């Protein structure tokens, strides 16, 4: 039985396994194995088991339990979960009252029959690429426990990579879904900005924040995306654009799509094995074209200014009154952001429109762009510096070297995993124009069918077998 979410749901719906057995096995694994990875900050036992029994009763009565019936999932702990305090990776938020309702994204997965089993570790206030949290500990990479899982959605990626859950929710401001997806070797989708509702999610930088998800297969990513779409009055940037369902289109192939590899900035400072992965994907798709994107370094710098300014403004009161209660790495960057002149922020936003226009010109000639997700494989826990282009640079800011410029203008991107024997996983970004997620997923589905991209083999399953 395939242990992705679609496979589990099919087994539950067809009566080959009960939802109670699936969820019970999942909770048992989380209890036994989470200590090794430190993915979860909260585990939901009684409510998850009760919901699984309800799903089984619905099936026994011949009613439709939903297309994700019995599928366990977990969410980054910045999503509201009714009855739990929304930590957002922080000590300060732990003092807040529990949430009174689920975030919209959590509601939509539950409505499809998925069963929430817990909340997941992250960088404090989503400001980081490593998930080495001074309050809740570091999340470890399931492929090598001496290495980071990436961040800020590190718990979400590691939970899927380790096989604890087949599906998880995360958020992406500058690469916080794609970086951990690449380092942990799973699929991670950052949809178009405004495509999915952020209502009930603790925001970091409102003009850059996206929500998205992790999965073990392309069909899981496509189905979850289809379910999560839809306008929401709770999020002013979530548009009323009609949903465009991707799952039925996965087998259409890539004929007619114009695909190119990003060169220039995206080819500089990349570890040889990472560029080999990009080349492998390009060859599998018979791609011979390349594209140069102008002023990408400046786009990254502008994204830094916007992120730091908006994040610092959000936390200004606590930075003034209780700076000692922040994670030191987060606090120092927020304090620096509070000192950024307003005219710098305005200039960065103006440049943002110019950069968006350049991409619009590129997408008149190209449909899909391939690029590395991270410049290297997962660094060691506690590692402060790494070498890029022969120069020593800090790990924390530079893991987002290739993700940040694409978040800057809200493009949809899927990081797909490349696995090699006895080697750490590598991610390749598949990028398209706004609202063209279906093109991305068609490309990914073909690569998956060819065996080029895949999630790791889980050490044990959640399918009740």
Residue appearing with tokens 């290297």: 376
Active-site residue, from 18, 90, 152, 168: 152
C-alpha to C-alpha distance for 155 and 250, rounded to whole angstroms: 28
**Does residue 134 carry a catalytic annotation?**
no
In this structure, what is the dihedral angle of CA atoms 6, 12, 18, 23, given to the nearest 10 degrees?
A: 20
Nearest 5 degrees, angle CA 195-CA 196-CA 199?
130
Active-site residue, from 18, 25, 76, 162: 76
Rg from Cα positions in the chain: 21
Are 125 and 319 contacting, i.e. CB atoms less than 8 angstroms apart? no
CA quadruple 458, 459, 462, 465: dihedral sign = positive
Are 312 and 106 contacting, i.e. CB atoms less than 8 angstroms apart? no
Is the bond preceding residue 152 a cis peptide, omega within 30 degrees?
A: yes
Active-site residue, from 176, 205, 415, 461: 176
Are 464 and 168 contacting, i.e. CB atoms less than 8 angstroms apart? no
With left for phi above 0 and alpha for psi between -120 and 50, is residue 410 left, alpha or beta?
left
**Does residue 91 carry a catalytic annotation?**
no
Q: What DSSP assignment string belongs to 72-123?
A: EEEEETTB--BTS---TT-SSGGGSPPBSS--HHHHHHHHTT-EEEEEE--S
**Does residue 152 carry a catalytic annotation?**
yes
Just list the catalytic residues. 76, 152, 176
């Amino acid at each position: 039985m395939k242990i992705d979410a679609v496979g589990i749901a099919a087994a539950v719906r067809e009566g080959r396994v009960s939802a109670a057995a699936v969820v019970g096995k999942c909770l048992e694994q989380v209890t036994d194995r989470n200590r090794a990875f430190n993915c979860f900050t909260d585990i939901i036992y009684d409510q998850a088991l009760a919901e699984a029994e309800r799903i089984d009763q619905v099936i026994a009565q011949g009613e439709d339990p939903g297309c994700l019936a019995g599928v366990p999932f977990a969410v980054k702990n910045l999503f509201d979960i009714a009855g739990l305090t929304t930590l957002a990776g922080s000590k300060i938020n732990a003092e807040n009252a529990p949430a009174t309702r689920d975030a919209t994204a959590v509601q939509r997965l539950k409505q499809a029959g998925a069963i929430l089993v817990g909340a997941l570790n992250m960088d404090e206030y989503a400001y980081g690429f490593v998930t080495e949290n001074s309050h809740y500990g570091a999340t470890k990479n399931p492929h090598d426990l001496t290495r980071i899982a990436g961040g800020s959605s590190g718990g979400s990626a590691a939970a899927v990579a380790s096989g604890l859950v087949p599906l998880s929710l995360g958020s992406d401001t500058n690469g916080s879904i794609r970086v951990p997806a690449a380092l942990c070797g799973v699929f991670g989708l950052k949809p178009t900005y405004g495509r999915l509702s952020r209502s009930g999610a603790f925001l970091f930088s409102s003009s850059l924040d996206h929500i998205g998800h992790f999965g073990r297969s392309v069909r899981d990513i496509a189905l979850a995306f289809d379910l999560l779409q839809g306008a929401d009055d709770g999020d002013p940037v979530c548009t009323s654009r009609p949903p465009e369902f991707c799952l039925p289109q996965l087998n259409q192939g890539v004929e007619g799509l114009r695909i190119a590899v990003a060169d220039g900035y995206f080819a500089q400072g990349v570890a040889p094995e990472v560029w080999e992965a990009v080349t492998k994907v390009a060859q599998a798709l018979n791609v011979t074209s390349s594209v140069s994107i102008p002023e990408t370094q400046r786009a990254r710098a502008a994204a830094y200014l916007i992120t730091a300014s908006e994040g610092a403004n959000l936390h200004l009161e606590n930075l003034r009154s209780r700076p000692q209660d922040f994670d030191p790495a987060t606090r120092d960057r927020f304090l620096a952001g509070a000192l950024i002149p307003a005219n710098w922020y305005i200039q960065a936003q103006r440049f943002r429109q110019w950069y968006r226009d350049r991409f619009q010109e590129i997408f008149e000639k190209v449909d899909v762009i391939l690029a590395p997700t991270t410049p290297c494989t997962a660094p060691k826990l506690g590692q402060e510096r790494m070498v890029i282009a022969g120069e020593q640079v800090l790990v924390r800011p530079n893991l987002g070297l290739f993700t940040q410029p694409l978040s800057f203008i809200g493009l949809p991107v899927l990081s797909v995993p490349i696995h090699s024997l006895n080697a750490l996983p590598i991610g390749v970004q598949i990028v398209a124009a706004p609202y063209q997620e279906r093109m991305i997923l068609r490309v990914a589905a073909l690569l998956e069918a060819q065996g080029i991209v895949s999630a790791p083999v889980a050490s044990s399953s959640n399918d009740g077998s």
